[in-house]
Amino acid sequence: MLNNTSLFKTIYPIIALSFLIFGFGHSALAQNNPPIPNQASQISATPQPPQINASSYILMDFHSGHVLASSNPDLQVEPASITKMMTAYVVFSEIKSGNLSLNEMITVSEKAWRTGGSKMFIEVDKQVKVEDLIRGMIVQSGNDACVALAEHIAGSEEVFANMMTQHAKKIGMNNSYFLNATGLPAEGHLVTANDVAKLGKALISEFPDLYHFYSEKEFTFNKIKQHNRNTLLYRDPTVDGFKTGHTEAAGYCLATSAMRNGMRLINVIMGTESEKARADETQKLINYGFRFFETHKLYRAGEQQVQPEIWKGAEENISLGLAEDLFITIPKGTYEQLKANVDIPGLLTAPIQQGTQLGTLNIMLNDQAVMQKPLVALQTAEQAGWWSRSMDGIGLWFKSFGDDD
């Protein structure tokens, strides 16, 4: 005969699940992120992005990864000196892993000294500190600095270029291929605006202690002062990186990041007609993004969102949450229209390992799904003892009859 405890456990999950799915979303969103008052009626529709004269571009929110505007973002193009962002990524990775230090001295080879294009003016057989070479590479766009760093890290620039492509694949730059550390023209040396935006995001998120090099406006080496070619560093105080590029084939290119009121945007523009054009067109896109969109952190990683009941477990419930922080970028003035709900299987049975996906968190805007994230177990749920498992088994058996219709 089914006792009262088993009967309650049979009926309760159905009631609890219905509450979680239909009642959780709005209250959880309101509790974690208070609505922005008096915004909903200010902007009724988001206008189209400005017209941009470039071969390709992308405007992306750093935190959410949401693309706010783009044109031909996956078009493969020559990157020119934007290549140096990937060179910096490899150099920063070596520093982070302990294989290289900022104070380490590098002996300049003749090849590095002879490399054409923009220079920081290092001298053959002289020793230069890694930190100075990084500034020479980023601020002065020195090709000689890039080759010196590449040879020191990998033995040759060719091997270093292989490392660049390997690192690129790891961060999702699936349409980019690197043949040198400088960006000097080479057949097959290609990137996309989308890939460069991913690279910019990785540089900021993985190397917060080294990103500051990109905001430096000038650097003096060997008594020669050179200014950062990213003119937006001087024009817009919210811009704090990245890199310019120019060759005859690539045109004038610019990858930029800017932050206003905690919202960070990454913009990549390829193939404009002049230095002024790349800065002006970038400024248009950045202003558009900040004017018409807003980004919110809705939930923190590891924070309990729901606590459904589990069967045959040592504990009655299991906590579910997100493995990563959840950010969302939405049109300004629409925050109050956000809702959230969860989809969870009808029956959860122990054992369950921590990190197992057990459901989905759905973010809705004006009743349309705009984001879905997996809900995972925040702790391991061990099996209960023999008696409790047996009682739950009986309850599940009786419940199966009620589910036949």
CATH code of the domain in which 251 resides: 3.40.710.10
Q: What angle do CA 69, 327, 282 make, to 5 degrees?
A: 30
Are 60 and 167 contained in the same domain?
A: yes
Structural domain contains residue 394? yes
Whether 141 and 215 share a structural domain: yes
β-bridge pairing 56-61 and 67-71: antiparallel
Q: Could you tell me if residue 44 is inside a domain? A: no
Give the C-alpha separation, 18 to 401, whole Å.
20
Q: Residue 389 has what pLDDT?
A: 59
pLDDT score recorded for residue 174: 95
For residue 305, which of 364, 379, 375, 369 has the smallest C-alpha distance? 375
CA distances to 20, 47, 57, 208, 373 from 328, in Å:
22, 19, 21, 22, 11
Does residue 169 sit in the same domain as residue 237? yes
Low-confidence winner among 12-21, 63-72, 107-116, 181-190 (lowest mean pLDDT): 12-21
Query: What confidence score (pLDDT) does residue 170 get?
Result: 96
Higher local confidence (pLDDT), 129 or 15: 129
Q: Identify the pLDDT of residue 387.
A: 59
Q: How confident is the model at residue 214 (pLDDT cuts 50, 70, 90)?
A: very high
Average pLDDT over residues 364-382: 87
* pLDDT the model gives residue 30: 31
Q: For residue 368, what is the domain's CATH number? A: 2.60.410.10
**Cα gap 279→228, rounded to integer Å:** 13
Task: Provide the residue range defining the domain that includes 33.
Answer: 4-39+298-402
How much is the average pLDDT of 271-287?
96
Say if residue 246's pLDDT is above 60: yes
- 93 and 232 share one domain: yes
Binned at pLDDT 50, 70 and 90, residue 143 comes out as very high
Q: Does a structural domain hold residue 170? A: yes
Distance CA(316)–CA(307), nearest Å, equals 10
Q: How confident is the model at residue 27 (pLDDT cuts 50, 70, 90)?
A: very low
Single out the residue of 212, 173, 182, 201 nearest to residue 267, CA to CA: 201
Residues 217 and 325 in one domain: no
If you average pLDDT over every residue of the chain, what do you get?
A: 85
Quote the pTM value.
0.82
Kindly state whether residue 316 falls inside one of the protein's structural domains: yes
Residue 293's pLDDT band, with cuts at 50, 70 and 90, is: very high
Whether 71 and 164 share a structural domain: yes
What pLDDT was estimated at residue 392? 54
Ramachandran class of 313: left when φ > 0, alpha when ψ lies in -120 to 50, beta otherwise: beta
Contact 355, 318 (CB under 8 A): no
> pLDDT tens across 349-363, in order?
778 899 888 889 999
Q: Of 30-44, 67-81, 89-103, which gets the smallest average pLDDT?
A: 30-44
Question: Do both 86 and 156 map to the same domain?
Answer: yes
Which residues are annotated as catalytic?
Answer: 81, 84, 141
**Domain end among 222, 238, 272:** 272
Domain final position from 272, 307, 327: 272
pLDDT greater at residue 337 or residue 192: 192
What is the domain count for the chain? Answer: 2
- Considering the domain architecture, whether residues 199 and 248 belong to the same structural domain is answered as yes
| Domain termination residue (choose one: 272, 307, 338) | 272
Residue 259 lies in a domain: yes
Question: Is the pLDDT at 8 greater than 80, yes or no?
Answer: no
- Is the residue at 326 inside a domain? yes
Region of poorest pLDDT, from 87-96, 115-124, 308-317: 308-317
Is 65 a member of any domain? yes
Note the pLDDT tens digit of each residue in 57-85.
Answer: 999 999 999 999 999 999 999 999 999 99
pLDDT at 165: 96
Domain match, 190 and 91 both? yes
**Which comes out higher in pLDDT, residue 358 or 138?**
138
Q: Are residues 74 and 143 in the same domain?
A: yes
If asked whether residues 147 and 237 sit together in one domain, one would say yes
Integer CA distances (angstroms), 326 to 35, 300, 358, 361, in order: 17, 6, 17, 10
34 and 70 fall within a common domain? no
What span, in angstroms and rounded, lies between the C-alpha atoms of 107 and 100? 14
Task: Evaluate whether residue 25 is within a structural domain.
Answer: yes
